[in-house]
């Protein structure tokens, strides 16, 4: 989640958009998993490593990117 949130923060700063809290981004990822946009898998890192969630985009990347780029502030992402 940390890598996702760091990338998200950098993107919102670049787009001059409001940055949501890490908890809220986690909730949004759970909503997207429910909708079938992403897949979230809990993994165990082994003894002393802890567990964490891995998130994977399920939908076609091109379709998602096309939707994101409707916001003119994000055109530089293409």
The domain ranges of the chain are 2-77
Band of pLDDT at residue 74, cut at 50, 70 and 90: confident
Q: Which residues contact residue 74 at a Cβ distance below 8 angstroms, ignoring those fewer than 6 apart?
A: 11, 15, 68
- In this prediction, residue 28 carries a pLDDT of 94
pTM: 0.75
The pLDDT of residue 64 is above 70: yes
Give the pLDDT score at 1: 58
Beta-bridged to residue 55, according to DSSP, are 40
1-55 pLDDT, tens digit per residue, is 588 999 999 999 988 889 999 999 999 999 999 999 999 888 876 777 777 888 8
Distance CA 76, CA 26 (A): 25
Q: Does domain 2-77 have CATH number 3.40.109.10?
A: no
The sign one gets for the Cα dihedral 35, 67, 10, 20 is: negative
């Amino acid at each position: 989640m940390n890598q996702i949130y760091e990338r998200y923060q950098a993107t919102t700063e670049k787009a001059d958009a409001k940055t949501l809290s890490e908890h809220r981004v986690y909730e949004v990822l759970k909503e997207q998993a429910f909708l079938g946009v992403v897949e979230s898998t809990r993994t165990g890192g082994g003894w002393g490593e802890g567990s964490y969630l891995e998130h994977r985009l399920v939908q076609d990347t091109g379709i998602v990117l096309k939707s994101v780029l409707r916001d003119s502030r994000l055109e530089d992402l293409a």
